[in-house]
Amino acid sequence: MGRFYITTPIYYANDAPHVGSAYTTVNADALARWHRLAGDEVKFLTGTDEHGQKMADAAAKNGFSPQEWTDQVSKRFQEAWTALNISNDDFIRTTEPRHYKTVQRFLSVIYENGFIYKDVYSGLYCVSCEDYYTLEASDEGTCPIHHSQLTNMEEENWFFRLSAFEDRLLDFYAQNPGFVTPETKRNEAYSFIKSGLKDISITRTSINWGVPVPWDPKHVFYVWYDALINYLTAIGYGQENDEVATWWPHSNHLIGKEILRFHGVWWPAMCMAAGLDPVHHVHVNGWLLVGGEKLGKTMAAEGAVRLSDIEPIGLTKEFGVDPLRYYLLRETALGNDGEFSHEGITARYNTDLANSLGNLVARVSAVVGSKCAGQGPPPQSDSTLRLSAMASVENAAEAWENFAPQRALEATWELISATNSYLELNAPWKMESGLEVDNVMGDALEAIRIVAILISPAMPSVSEEIWRRIGLSGSPATAPYSQSATWGLYPGGSKVEKGEPLFPRIKSDE
């Protein structure tokens, strides 16, 4: 058993969550749940990023103070995560006193170590990104991501000596080949470092909505610079309850591809400057797209999608919590971009959930009802399904360990298909009641029991419901899976319930 500290990026609290933010959160949640199932001690952190100009602008536009505004929006994120059954252990808000304390301490150490100095900065700024662009990197003066006009900013700022870390970062990447995954993203970050690093401006005087710089209180820290430090705030850096030594060596950041430079370049350099090891691992996910564009609120504002079609809570009402989670985990490899659509959710739902999983549970409970007097028989120790079950457990475990929920679920569905084929081959519904039927149904119930364990990180409620229906007590998510997901533990003699369909089919428009 080990430890596993997983974080999502903290979401900008300028606007309510959408299914793109839910994507990263659901993936991190499933990974956290897998590690708990494996018996690891887990800390799962998410939260909201509440400083910066974008926030101050959004608050002013809506007639609120920044604090009032972020209070409301942060609450909406927490409500969305509750609706999606997210099992985070902590929710950080960057306006909390604990965060101010950690940021000021961490940056004072970097300052004392001589890596922060004062200079004048001018450049093209995108408020939505909260980032500067060079003219070459811009789209003829507009933001390449948001397509909005960049503004010219000139400020006297404090700078972080990022350039001093070029060699150390290259060295670090060479020594730690798995630092950033997938490899394509690792190579992207590495090339960026190799192309030369410029020092970065880390404070602002143009706004006051931020964490004050302890040695120069006219300045507040630039929002990205305070935001990254949230990962240390939650484990008590610079606070009384300091658990950095416990968690930091086991830290994993799950991040979207557009924020790789911050997490793969700035952040490890900041840690080095503070005399701390960099985060252990960064895994980069792609985007959910609509018509090839990154799904987001601007899209709704432009009329490309209806806001209600991309709101997480609305989607859980339409499709169910676990089906939505399943779709977000299963449709796209965690690392690639994928199209998001209601047709896509409907197709996944009908094929994988209604036809494969739901049908398996329904037909097994029906036959146990009619041929075994509703009592689940025990499995055979030498069933041909045993090998399929063991292969699925092994492949799913390997995939979860490697941040590949999609492959883990594929491996799980192989067991579901193998069990459906086993039933078709033996056709127990055509047999007379007796030992032969009992043997087939005991095997099928055992396979379903193992499926319930394997799907628990992705679909926690469905997993519990299946467990209950096949007459088991306790929880499928009891650790460690290495003891529970072994063939032969279905006790036999349990009452199997013939319930409502788990996944009533959704009529698609075609």
Minimum CB distance to ligand MSP smaller for 51 or for 371: 51
Distance from C-alpha of 310 to C-alpha of 304, rounded to nearest angstrom: 11
The two tokens of residue 485 are 């997901």
The minimum distance between CB 39 and ligand MSP, in angstroms, equals 29
The minimum distance between CB 463 and ligand MSP, in angstroms, equals 25
> What Rg value do the Cα atoms of the chain yield, rounded?
26
Minimum CB distance to ligand MSP smaller for 259 or for 372: 259
The dihedrals phi and psi of 317, each to the nearest 5 degrees, come to -70, -35
Residue bearing tokens 């030498």: 382
The minimum distance between CB 97 and ligand MSP, in angstroms, equals 19
User: E-strand spans in 327-468?
Assistant: 338-339, 375-376
**CA 269, 273, 278, 279 torsion-angle sign:** negative
Minimum CB distance to ligand MSP smaller for 9 or for 471: 9
Contacts of 241 (CB under 8 A, 6+ apart): none
Q: How far is CA 481 from CA 6, 37, 84, 153, 380, in A?
A: 20, 6, 23, 55, 20
The minimum distance between CB 240 and ligand MSP, in angstroms, equals 24
Distance from C-alpha of 357 to C-alpha of 471, rounded to nearest angstrom: 17
Q: How far is CA 461 from CA 176, 212, 481, in A?
A: 38, 44, 17
Contacts of 417 (CB under 8 A, 6+ apart): 356
Minimum CB distance to ligand MSP smaller for 56 or for 361: 56
Minimum CB distance to ligand MSP smaller for 255 or for 397: 255
Q: Which residues bind ligand MSP (CB under 6 A)?
A: 9-12, 20-21, 23-24, 49, 227-228, 230, 255-256, 258-259, 287-288, 294-296
The minimum distance between CB 339 and ligand MSP, in angstroms, equals 11
The minimum distance between CB 24 and ligand MSP, in angstroms, equals 5
Minimum CB distance to ligand MSP smaller for 74 or for 419: 74
Q: 226 - beta bridge partners?
A: none
The minimum distance between CB 159 and ligand MSP, in angstroms, equals 20
Distance from C-alpha of 395 to C-alpha of 408, rounded to nearest angstrom: 7
Contacts of 450 (CB under 8 A, 6+ apart): 389, 392, 393, 415, 485, 487
The minimum distance between CB 287 and ligand MSP, in angstroms, equals 4
Minimum CB distance to ligand MSP smaller for 232 or for 502: 232
Minimum CB distance to ligand MSP smaller for 279 or for 389: 279
